[in-house]
Amino acid sequence: MVLIAQNHLQFIVEVGLIIQIGIILLLNIVPISLSLVLFATLILAVGLALLFGVDAGLLFVSYAHEFSIPYGPIALFAVVTLLAALPMMKEVGIRVANLRIFIFMVIGVIAIAGSVVHRVFLVLWILGLLIGLFIISKSFRQKSFLTVKRVIAVVGVVVVSFGALQLLADALNMSVLSPLLRFSRLEENALPSITMVLKNSALLGHVQGSSYWASADTGFGSGYVSLPLTLITMLTLPFPVFYGVLVSKKDVIDYFLPGIFGWTFDFGYITLICLLIYCAGVIFVGFKMLSAYREKRENGNRNYLGREALLIGALTAFSTQAIMGLFFSNRDINGMALLTFMLMGALVLGHVVMVKRTTR
């Protein structure tokens, strides 16, 4: 049957469409009030803070770790949605001082735990918060959060945090915590990986036999970019996958290169262009919907406050993950993180259908 995915890319597209349809139905069926959004995202943020904390704790007792990394954008979505809800609550006369303190405590816990678990998590977290605060300031016509002093302060925080993490790694003799180790591995492996991608990429896929699978390689969708392995095996799809000890073999694409190279090698230049158009389109649509919601709010219509806060959080998370995944590490939009990426995109695009239906 045509609908049965024949390769990784078709499977990604089909799952993405299913997620999108589900989100559209959810946003149209469930009454998205500000109180519901506040309650749900507060529970989500606290739960993810605990998850990151447990993951960080397991790191020090030598158990399996880093299972929380794909949930970074979801945590970002939750806390930015909460931050967006604060000025809305303040406008209707609700005191938010204590809630603001609690939210920033959750933000701090996730930042610390996430940075311990994954060395570049802090970059995603701070970038996402900056994007979120920028969107919030524009949506509520506030004075811009971004100033030269604050940008310098943020850079200083990142540098100091990486320095502290390196000192902790040296003190505990835990190389897994070392940012310098990550940078040295990138320095050693990035150039050979880029060379391989540029030499073998084609309009659709790559030169047959140039992937790890050699003669068994089909030249398209070799498994460097895919949905989670458990999902593929559960559906018994006959795709090439990296599992067990083979997982390290895809690091040449997944770990050492930005997503623009990973997607180009596995699916070709045409697919990369489509991905970039999709990302730009989602962000454009998100800002257009925010403009529509802001107009309604400023005209005294408070029926869309919950949806506006939800959209700000989703747009922030999607934009941040797109930047990190496309231009920093393919791993940020691969596997479980790819599901998160599609979910955030669906949460943005889902508002289009809802707005059209509610304005008739």
What are the pLDDT digits (tens) for 5-22? 788 899 999 999 999 999
With a cut of 50, say whether residue 80 has pLDDT above it: yes
Q: How many domains does the chain have?
A: 1
Q: Whole domain around residue 52: which residue ranges?
A: 8-179+265-358
Residue 326 covered by a domain: yes
Residue 209 covered by a domain: no
pLDDT higher at 324 or 1:
324
Residue 104 covered by a domain: yes
Say which DSSP state 7 is in: S
Residue 224 covered by a domain: no
When pLDDT is cut at 50, 70 and 90, the band that residue 106 belongs to is very high
Instruction: Give the type of residue at 228.
Output: P
Tell me how far apart the alpha carbons of residues 296 and 304 are, in angstroms, rounded to a whole number. Answer: 8
Instruction: Give the type of residue at 57.
Output: G
Q: Which residues contact 2 (CB under 8 A, 6 or more apart)?
A: none
| Per-residue pLDDT tens digits for 265-294 | 989 999 999 999 999 999 999 999 999 999
Residue 32 covered by a domain: yes
pLDDT higher at 119 or 42:
42
Residue 172 covered by a domain: yes
Residue 91 covered by a domain: yes
Position 234 scores a pLDDT of 86
When pLDDT is cut at 50, 70 and 90, the band that residue 357 belongs to is very low
Position 356 scores a pLDDT of 46
Q: Distance between alpha carbon 172 and the CA centroid of its chain, in Å?
A: 30
Residue 184 covered by a domain: no
When pLDDT is cut at 50, 70 and 90, the band that residue 360 belongs to is very low
Tell me how far apart the alpha carbons of residues 241 and 74 are, in angstroms, rounded to a whole number. Answer: 26
With a cut of 90, say whether residue 147 has pLDDT above it: no
